[in-house]
Structure 1
Amino acid sequence: MRAEPGQVVAGRYRVTGRSEGEVGLPAVDVQSGARVRLFGLELPELLVPGHPVGAPAPSYGPRLTARVAQVAAAAAAHPRLLRGLAAGPEDEVLWVAEEAVGGVPLERLAGNGPVSPYRVAEIGADLAGALRAVHEAGLTHGNLTLRTVLVCEDGAAMLGGLLLGAAEEELCAALGGEVPRRVYETRALMLGPLAERWAIDAGAPADTWALGVLLYRLLTGHGPYPEHDLPTLLAAVRDGQHHPADGCGPLRPLVERLLRPDAAARPDAVAVQRELRDLLAFAPEPGLDGPPGPLLPVPRPEAGPLVPRPGGGRRPGRPTDRQAPARPPRVPPKLLGPLVLAGVLVLLCAAIGVIVAVAG
């Protein structure tokens, strides 16, 4: 999966630097000149369960490329959704291209422990908006994890990994064939016990469940289910036995609803975004002067340092559509009249005392 700077992969992308971990491999599209990030998906024949030794290995590149192209064509544009561009096989690697933006993976920012509930609410509202666009296009994202979320320079969260997730699921289906057990074994080898990728249902409810897992992880510093081995994880997910959500603060009711085993009992992406915005409207943190405004286009800079905002506060300068609740007066209105009368009497008594003292 290695590619050196200057090398052209998949006949289209010239590598311009070395891999930056989960962010991908920086490259340039030689056809359009656009900056992209490349992610490589290995196509190892050794993963094929029951494949005869010495028999010709099947080619999965064209099938995966067609599936990725289908998803890319159907995906809608959204300011919180990274655009998946294309995929192309080369040797035993499928290269998936995604637009490049300035930012760092959410996984890196979350590595220092629990995140402020109101900062998590901001991130969650951004991701719910991206999922809403995916679902309205008739797609399932299926790859919502800390590694596929980028935090941009303005603090906004952007969701990527749509095409890579589609390629991974298509590869699992191709390797497993029509035998569910083989598909499971292939997914186990490829994905491992990462809770966000193992929803018990499919479609949009699986994405909102994964969002609940991610919110829990950000709020507490660990996942809601045991992840030391896959059978234990799947049993806990199936039975709805997640760790207590005590550390989720004001987001606890929403997180617990998102983690319900019954898909019909979970809120959809629209409801999640609305609830998180309502929570942010009354966030009791210093410097928060109003509720979040409508989604704005995210600046997509060519380069530049990430400027994280300490304390988890809201992005400065976001427009508001209503003012924060006014503070109550320090003196209740019903006591104002008696206090004024008492003050007048005190002044009269003081004046009489002065007159008596002078006359005497």
Structure 2
Amino acid sequence: MTRTDQVIGGRYRVLAELGRGGMGVVWRAEDTFLGRQVAVKEVLSPSGDAARRAMREARSAARLSHPSVVKVFDVVEEDGRPWVVMEYVEARSLHEVIKQDGPLPPERAARVGRQLLSALDAAHRAGILHRDVKPGNVLLAKGDRAVLTDFGIALMEGDATLTRAGGLLGSPAYIAPERFLGERAVPASDLWALGATLYAATSGRPPFHRDDPAAVLGAVLNEEPPIPPQAQALRPVLEGLLRKDPRERMRAGVAEAVLVAILEDRPPRLPPVAHPQATGGGTETTTAIADGPVAGPIAGPVAGPVAATTALSVVPERDGELSWRLGGVLAYAGMALLLLGSLFVLLSSR
């Protein structure tokens, strides 16, 4: 058991606990060699891939140099467990701020969101996905400096995917729909999680908050989140980032431009919304014109040939809705099978 004054790796003296979660405990520590304070994450997972996860975090974050990304300095092993040594940021998490002070005003949330968008854009350009963007992984320091932390389950291009046995890595209320349906995480998945984070920042809870995890899954796949009155100023960004289809999801650059417009108290330039349709010659994207000036595409790349046309109304999405509902039913069935399998293993072991 870790104790204060314990020295990790022959160099880092533990001073106090900063917080804990499912994967580990974060301690404030002193780097006795350089004479500075650092944050040290003790990885608690008993699984054999704990060391690989820690190394992945170090490799991922070490590739990034951005004011809104926590710096990783070192990884050491102590008591058979890996410890990740990071920049110490004197701050509260966004989760703590919401819990202690209440939801953020839209302008403050827009400032935080703009910084996080910039951090994610830098990560994505470096080939890194975070995969666990949520209020608990956002630090708010002095002057509302927003810092994204815990790249512990980040995915770098070329790395094998790491998952917990029997489930996804991440927090259900902040997991994008496509990941529930078994698809690989993509940059748009991080943006969906950011949209859910900004929703929680302005409303006090995530957009698909439910008491039961299965209900959360069903809501993520099949329901549209109501935008609360206090978050109306951020409606274009929230609705754009929380689109079910990652191909229709608002891009980082567009979202940042809209947040800048909100901060400058001027009408945002909303781009057209692409609705992919299957056609005999490939994929056709029909575009609905949004209110306000058009400022470029909102959707991510679509596989196959693309023919862009313009319509004055939104294309009906009955087939899309049916597929999402079918996905929800299949997801529920999968969870039921997992529970039955766990029960069988438990009874067999007796």
Question: 1:105: which partner in 2?
Answer: 93
Helix, strand or coil for the counterpart of 2:133?
coil
How many Å apart are 1:123 and its aligned residue?
A: 0.9
Secondary structure at the counterpart of residue 240 of structure 2: helix
**1:245 corresponds to which of 220, 227, 249:** 227
> What is the one-letter code of the residue matched to 1:224?
P
Which AA in structure 2 matches 1:238?
L
Q: Counterpart of 2:26 in structure 1: which amino acid?
A: G
More helix by share: 1
Name the structure 2 match of 1:270.
253
Which consecutive unaligned segments of at least 5 residues does structure 1 have?
A: 46-58, 177-181, 285-360
Hey, what's the Cα distance between the residues in 1 that align with 2:6 and 2:60?
Answer: 27
Equivalent residue number for residue 173 of structure 2: 195
Give the structure 1 partner of residue 19 of structure 2.
21
The residue identity in structure 2 corresponding to 1:243 is P
Task: State the distance in 2 between where 1:133 and 1:94 align.
Answer: 27
Per-residue deviation, 1:171: 11
Q: What is residue 131 of structure 1 aligned with on the other side?
A: 120
Deviation at 1:269, TM superposition (A): 1.9
Q: Name the CA shift for 1:207/1:265 in 2 (closer, same or farther; >3 Å).
A: same
Amino acid at match of 1:13: Y
- Choose from 203, 215, 224 the match for 1:232: 215
Deviation for aligned residue 1:64? 3.0
- Cα deviation, residue 131, structure 1: 0.9
Hey, what's the Cα distance between the residues in 2 that align with 1:264 and 1:174?
24
**C-alpha displacement of 1:10:** 4.3
Which structure 2 residues correspond to residues 163-242 of structure 1 after superposition, within 5 A?
164-166=152-154, 173=162, 176=165, 182-184=166-168, 187=169, 194-197=172-175, 199-201=177-179, 202-239=185-222, 241-242=223-224
Q: Structure 1 residues 268 and 84, CA, compared in 2 at 3 Å: closer, same or farther?
A: farther
How far did residue 154 of structure 1 move?
Answer: 1.6
Aligned residues: 253
1:24 to partner: Cα distance: 2.9
Task: Check whether the contact 2:241–2:249 (CA below 8 A) recurs between aligned residues.
Answer: yes
Q: Which moved more, 1:77-86 or 1:32-41?
A: 32-41
* Larger mean Cα displacement after TM superposition, 248-257 or 22-31: 22-31
How far apart in 2 are the matches of 1:107 and 1:93?
Answer: 27
Aligned match of 2:37:
35
| Contact 1:68–1:86 (Cα < 8 Å) also in 2 | no
Partner of 2:178, secondary structure, is: coil
The structure 1 residue matched to 2:129, chosen from 140, 146, 149, is 140
Higher strand share: 2
Residue aligned with 1:253, SS: helix
Q: Is the 8 A contact 1:246 1:252 kept in 2?
A: no
- Structure 2 regions of 5+ residues with no counterpart? 180-184, 268-350
Q: Deviations over 1:170-209 (max 9, x none)?
A: 9993653xxxxx244xx4xxx5x54124552412111110
Distance change in 2, residues 1:67/1:33 (3 Å): same
In the alignment, the residues of structure 1 paired with residue 224 and residue 93 of structure 2 have an alpha-carbon distance, to the nearest angstrom, of 25
TM-score w.r.t. structure 1 length? 0.63
Q: CA deviation at 1:98?
A: 1.7
1:69-88 to structure 2, matched below 5 A, reads 69-73=58-62, 75-88=63-76
Q: In 2 relative to 1, CA 64–154 (structure 1 residues): closer, same or farther, beyond 3 Å?
A: same
Closer/same/farther in 2, CA of residues 160 and 64 from structure 1, 3 Å limit = closer
CA contact under 8 A between 2:112 and 2:146: conserved in structure 1?
yes
Deviation of 1:212 (Å): 0.5
Equivalent-residue separation in structure 2 for 1:171 and 1:273 (angstroms): 31
Contact 2:68-2:148 at 8 Å conserved across structures: yes
TM-score (norm 2): 0.65
Give the structure, 1 or 2, with the largest relative contact order (CA under 8 Å, sep 6 or more). 1
Percent identity among equivalent residues?
30
Moved more, 219-228 or 133-142: 219-228
Going from structure 1 to structure 2, the CA distance change for 1:95 and 1:221 (only over 3 Å counts) comes to: same
* Higher Cα radius of gyration: 1
Contact 1:27 1:36 in 2 (8 A): yes
Amino acid at match of 1:72: A
Cα distance in 1, alignment partners of residues 221 and 162 from structure 2: 22
How far apart are the structure 2 equivalents of 1:102 and 1:139?
25
RMSD: 2.8
